Structure formats: structure tokens, C-alpha cells
Chain A
Amino acid sequence: MLITQIGNYSLILGLFLSIFFIFYLILILYGFIKIKLNNIYSILFIQLFSVLISFFSLIYSFVISNFTNETVYNNSHTTKPLFYKISGTWGNHEGSLLLWLLVLTLFIFLFFIDSKKQPKIYRLYTLVFQQIIILGFFLFVLFTSNPFSYIFPVPLEGLGLNPILQDPALAIHPPILYLGYVGSSIIFSASLSALVSKHINNFWAQHIKKWIFISWIFLTLGIMLGSIWAYYELGWGGFWFWDPVENVSLMPWFCLTALLHSILVLEKRSELKSWTIILSITTFSLSMSGTFLVRSGILNSVHTFANDPGRGVFILTFLFILILISILIFFFFQTEENVRENKIYWLSRETSILVNNWFMIFFLAVVFIGTTYPIFLEVLTSEKISVGPPFYNKLLIPFLIPFLIFMAIGPNLKWIKNDFKKVNFYKFFVFIFLCFITFIFAEKFKIKNLFTIILIISSLYLLISSIGDLIFKRKNISQNISHFGFSILILSIVLNGILSKEFSGNMKIGEEVKFYNEIIKFKKVETFNRENYKSVIATFEIENNKKKLILLKPELRIYNQPNIITSEADIKSSFYEDKFLVFSVLKKNNIFNVRYQVKPFMIWIWVSTLLIIFGGFVRLIKIK
């Protein structure tokens, strides 16, 4: 069909533009051609436009269920609702790479408009590096994962999108996460270019800070959406399982958060130049290996990798080239000034930011090693091990405790030098007071683990300290909000973890079960026919000891294409707890497996993450 042709050819146009553009820029940089900014704007715009056309033609193919297109055939179905036909565009490998490409070209266009005040040579070098990345993606899309390949004979019906992906949160999760990932590519190119054009200074820091905050906001939001989805769709009531695919999105986040802090030192004190560049390079490398690892399937099992050698080899080569280029540039263009180490005073904001980076890199290392170690071990010794939640808890929690306390102290220190006598010691008494409160609380709820208790104390300490700063100082509102959000996040995760209650068992219709001070009543089961699935809805009543009734209606969806059953939990959220109920059919007729969970402070996990993001957003607005 014509639409597929249009998509394919505009993609090829984009590829050639990219090659031409790189040569053009190099000729300008070596002084063979005179620079004409208008030409550059036009090339960037045409490239963006061509990717946009091919992206929309793919969406259009999905909307009209054009099964001459192999990608549409593999991932869509005529009976699927329109919304999921559209989101199915990026719910697969080929389409998601096209989306990457779209965001890449969009961001470099915006970057070029935004960087007018920066030196010309720096802007041009950034374009060169970014175009190399874009070229790599064009080649990858066109040669190994073309979304516009034909299929013949034309099938009448598509294979359908995996039903667990047919969900509003997951429809917007990938684009948001990609905005974060691709934002880090701009930071990467800009850092290399700043290195080459010797432009690493506070003026540059001020300008790149904006992009760091933009990517950080989207990355955080993207991770949160994925986690919310896991909570209500996967049916076990958890929101984070330290699964490799989750870890892969968390790794660039740690690195980007470290960068977000270290860039402040560069901006205010012109310090930590090399370190900031290293963080920029690492963040992007992690984002890219993340997307590729998830997409190529290497993470779930090493063997999936071998199934598609073409893609895998391309990925590795491309990653290798990018990292090699950045390392070479890093060492060749390193100046005396960048490497020179100035001593910083031990009690100062600079030191506290270094401490932040120290912990962030440790968290990153734990997740990185936990995720990759089993892969390497299996390749080398063919022994399969699991690295699960207990590993992360054991290694992260002890370090989280001092981290929280540093988070409370650090922001109150002055730049350059803080007089030791001016440190506020009243906070120490707050700390002692919190210890008592927490111990009383722990006694009441029979919390057994000592680490948990100390963790609660330290997050309460951060909470009080950041509220205090927010109310009395108001010097740095954005930072206060984010740190406050983080303390609530840790607090709600911990309390949620230790106070959650759960019933799991088999029930018949009409049966009642007593669970703590509540009674779970299984009322009825109804069946409905929906657009592309059959819906089985159960009705449960939860009666508490005050005779108050809560109605919960979990659902089972039996999809026709592909034939998969998903279970939709019903969740009643309230200010202090979530009631989560999910059920599944057992082989024996009329008996259902029922799982009811009471999860305290669940909603606060999302609210606090939004607060953290909001803090970043406030800062972003203030930059302009």
C-alpha cells in the first residue's frame, strides 16, 4: 500500500539527510564552507518532518489495520479499540525504535533553537555528535528492524497486541520514558562537544542544566508510570520487583540524579568538570543499553540474544563505537584546567553534593552488578543464579540510612565554607525525639527488624528537616519539595512493606471468610461480552467491624486475539490504605482463587514521586 511506501521512503530520506548533514557540518567546522544558520535550521526541520511523516504513516497503518505491513500484522487486530491500535504503534520493537528516532530528531531541533546564546562552534559540534547517534538509529531501524516491511500474501487478520499492554498507563509509559532517555542523548552530545570546543564552564552548566532537568523529569515520570502499571495490572499487588527490565530504567535514573546535583557545583563553583562529563556519558550509555537490552531480549534470557544475531551484533557494535568515541574524546581533549583538582572545604555544599554522588554511584553499582552478574556468570560457568529482591534490600537499606541523613544536612550547608560553629545543633534533639516516637510505634506494631526502625527514623528526620526548611528558610523551594517527597517515598515504601496484610485462598460463590477485623464476602460472578474480550466480573463485599461495606469488583478478561487471560485487580484507594482484590479461575468449577490485600500508604508512594517530580519542575521553570 502507498502509505507504507511513504513511510519507508521518508525514513530513507531522513537517513541520507543525516549522512549529508554530518559531512556538511564537518566542512563548516574545518572552514571549507561558510556557515549559514538558516540552512542548518532547514535541514534539521526537514529531517524532523520526514521522521514525523513516517511515524504518522505507521500510526495510520495501525488505525486502518493495514495488514500488508508486517509490523501491523504482528501487533494489531481489527477488533482492538482505537486507542490501543494507536498505542500499539510503539508497543513493539520496530515502532518503538521509530519513536526513539522521532524524539531524537525533535530534541536536537529544539536544542538548536534553544542554544542561540552559546558559542557557534559548540552548537555545531553538538549537532555532529547528535547526528552520529541519529544516523546509527536510522541504520538500525532500516536494516534490522524496519517497521515498513511487506507481507505477502496479505493476511486477513492480525495477531493482536499482548493484552497486558492494553492499558492506559502503559500506552503513555514508553513515550514518556523515551523523552527521558533521549534527553540524556542531548546531554551526552553537548558534553562531548563542550569538551572538544573547550566550553566547559558555568555558562555552559547553566544552559545544559535545563536539559538535565527535562530528561530527569520525564525519566522519573516514566519509571513511575511503569510501576503503577505493574501494581494494578500484574496482579500480585507489588509495585517493584527488582526485575531486570525495571532495573534497566532505574540505572540511568541514579546516574542522571547524580548529574543533576554535580552540575550545580559546576555552575556555582566551576568545579568537578571531568566528573560531570563522565556522568553525562555514563547516563546516556546506560539509557541506550537499557532500551536495547529490553528490546533485544538479552535480559530475560541470554538465549533470546542468539535468536536474532543481526540485531544483537548491531546493538553491540553501535554501543561499542559510541563509547569508544566518547572515551577517545574524553582523553584527547582533556585540558589541564578540567583535570586540575582544587581542594574543597570539608564542611561545605560542595562536599555534600560529592557525598550525594558517592551514594548514587553506589546504588547504581548495586543495581548494575545485580542485573548483569547473573548474565556473565551463566556465560562463563553455565551456572544460573537468581539475584532477587533480598539482595537489593540487604545491600541498599544499610546505605540508605546515612544517605537520608546526609540529604537532610547537606542542603543547609553553605557554598565554599560553612563555619562549624554555625551548624544547627537543635536538629540533633529532633533526631533523639524521633527515635523515641519510632520505638513506641515499633512496639505497638511489633516491628521486629532493627534496620527498618532506623530507616524510619532517618526518613522522618529528613521529612521534618525538609518541612522546616520549606517553611522557615524558603531559600531553595524546589530542592526542599523534592527532598521532602523522597522522605515520604521511603517512609511509605517501608511502612507499606511491613504493615501490609494479605489473605490468599480458594473461595466459592457465596462463601465468607474472616480476615483480621474484616469479613470478605464473595457475592456473585457475571459475564459480559466486550469489544475484543470476554469479561468475567466478580463482586466482593468487605465488611469491617463497624458494619461498613466496601464493594470490590475484580475482573478477568479473556481476550480473543491472542488468546490470553488477564486479571484486572479492583483497588479502592484511600488516604491511608489501599484495598486490593484480585481473583483467578481454578480448574475445578465454581472455585476461585482469591487474593485480598490491605496495603497502607500505597497512594503516598505515587504522591511522593509526583512531589519529587514537581520539585524538579519548579526548578526547571526558575531556570528561564
Chain B
Amino acid sequence: MKLLKYIIFFIICIIQSNLYADNNSILIDKISKNLRCLICQGQSVYDSQSEFANSIKILINKKIQEGNSEEEIYSYLKNKYGQWIVYDTEINKKTVYLWLFPVILFVFGGILIIRKVFIN
């Protein structure tokens, strides 16, 4: 039981630590890593030195200083440039199958294996 207590304690510690707020520049890095540089080939805004990427970085900085949250910045950019700019695909009506298909397939595969092993 002691074991379990420790494990639960540690898990709580870790979940707690998720709540620490990031400071500004880390947030800029985090957001820009998740944005596609629209004029580059397969590079994020963070990784690119192009004019487009630099202007986006400045824009993010400005938005953060105006007090916008991460989500608000994403939705602003999505409105302006479309879904294409954000790497982290959001779950909505059009992308629900993207997330669901693999999982459905996994469940289906599991059923096949169970059939092979237990029934038949």
C-alpha cells in the first residue's frame, strides 16, 4: 500500500507541475514551432529565417504582449491564413475521421485477434 501511496503522490506532483506558467519567450518558441512557414518547404516558423517567418514571430510577440492567449493567437492566424498554418491538427467535423480511423482500425484488429485466440 505504501508503494501505491508513493506512486499516487508522484503522479499528483507531476500533474501539478504542468500548471506552472511559461514565460514569454518560451511561449513564442512553443507557438512558432507549431506554425508552418508558408513560403518554405517543410519548415516551421521557428526553424525558418525567412521574412515571412520573422514577421510572424514579431506578430506573435505583439499578440502576447496585448494579452492574447495561445489559443487566441492560433485562431487569429487560422482566420488569416487558414488551417494550413497550424501543425497541430484540430479536431472538428472535417478532421474527425483523421483521428478516428486509426483507432477504429486498432479496435477492429483487436477483435480479429481475440477471435483467433479465444473463439473459433
Contacts and interface: CB of A to CB of B under 8 A. Distances in A.
Contacts of B89: 385-388, 390-391
A115 interface: no
Contacts of A300: 41
B36 A386 contact: yes
Given A343-B120, A453-B14, A236 B86 contact: no
Contacts of A346: 117-118
Given A390-B87, A395-B102, A384 B14 contact: no
Interface string A374-386: 0001000101111
Interface string A266-292: 000000000000000000000000000
Nearest to B103: A395
Given A343-B117, A365-B101, A381 B94 contact: yes
Contact of B49 (A354, A369, A442, A584): A584
B17 A386 contact: no
Interface in B43-57: 43-44, 47, 49
A432 interface: yes
Interface residues of B, number: 44
Given A439-B10, A448-B17, A369 B102 contact: yes
Contacts of A362: 102, 105-106, 109
Contacts of B13: 443
B85 interface: yes
B106 A448 contact: no
A529 to B, nearest CB: 25
A390 B31 CA distance: 12
A369 to B, nearest CB: 5
Contact of B84 (A235, A345, A385, A399): A385
B19 to A, nearest CB: 9
A151 interface: no
B83 interface: yes
Contacts of B101: 365, 369
Contacts of B120: 341, 343
B87 A389 contact: yes
B84 A386 contact: yes
Contacts of A395: 99, 102-103
Nearest to B117: A346
Given A236-B47, A361-B105, A365-B105, A386 B98 contact: no
B34 A388 contact: yes
Given A343-B117, A388-B36, A450-B11, A365 B102 contact: yes
Contacts of A439: 7, 10
A391 B47 contact: no
Interface in A222-236: 234-236
Given A241-B42, A300-B41, A450 B102 contact: no
B54 to A, nearest CB: 9
Contacts of B99: 395
**Residue from A369, A384, A388, A432 with most neighbouring chain B CB atoms (10 Å):** A388
Chain B at the A interface: mostly helix, strand, loop or mixed? helix
A383 B94 contact: yes
A365 B89 CA distance: 17
A53 B109 CA distance: 48
Contacts of A449: 14, 18
A442 B87 contact: no
Interface residues of A, number: 52
Interface string A335-363: 00000010111100001001100100110
A439 B41 CA distance: 40
A384 B86 CA distance: 11
Nearest to A584: B49
A584 B11 CA distance: 43
Contacts of A391: 87-89, 98
A524 B109 CA distance: 60
A387 B89 CA distance: 6
Nearest to B109: A358
Nearest to B99: A395
A249 to B, nearest CB: 14
Given A354-B116, A383-B83, A243 B42 contact: yes
B113 interface: yes
**Residue from A243, A358, A443 with most neighbouring chain B CB atoms (10 Å):** A358
B1 interface: no
Nearest to A368: B102
Interface of A: 234-236, 238, 241, 243, 245, 300, 341, 343-346, 351, 354-355, 358, 361-362, 365-366, 369-370, 373, 377, 381, 383-391, 395, 399, 432, 435-436, 439, 442-443, 446-450, 453, 584, 586, 593
Given A354-B116, A446-B17, 14 more contacts: A234-B43, A236-B44, A365-B106, A369-B98, A373-B98, A383-B82, A385-B83, A386-B86, A390-B88, A395-B99, A443-B13, A448-B14, A449-B14, A450-B14
Closest 5 pairs between A and B when the two form their complex, measured CB to CB: A388-B87, A236-B47, A390-B88, A384-B84, A385-B83
16 contacts: A234-B43, A341-B116, A354-B117, A358-B113, A361-B105, A361-B109, A369-B102, A381-B94, A383-B83, A386-B85, A388-B86, A395-B102, A442-B14, A448-B18, A450-B15, A584-B49
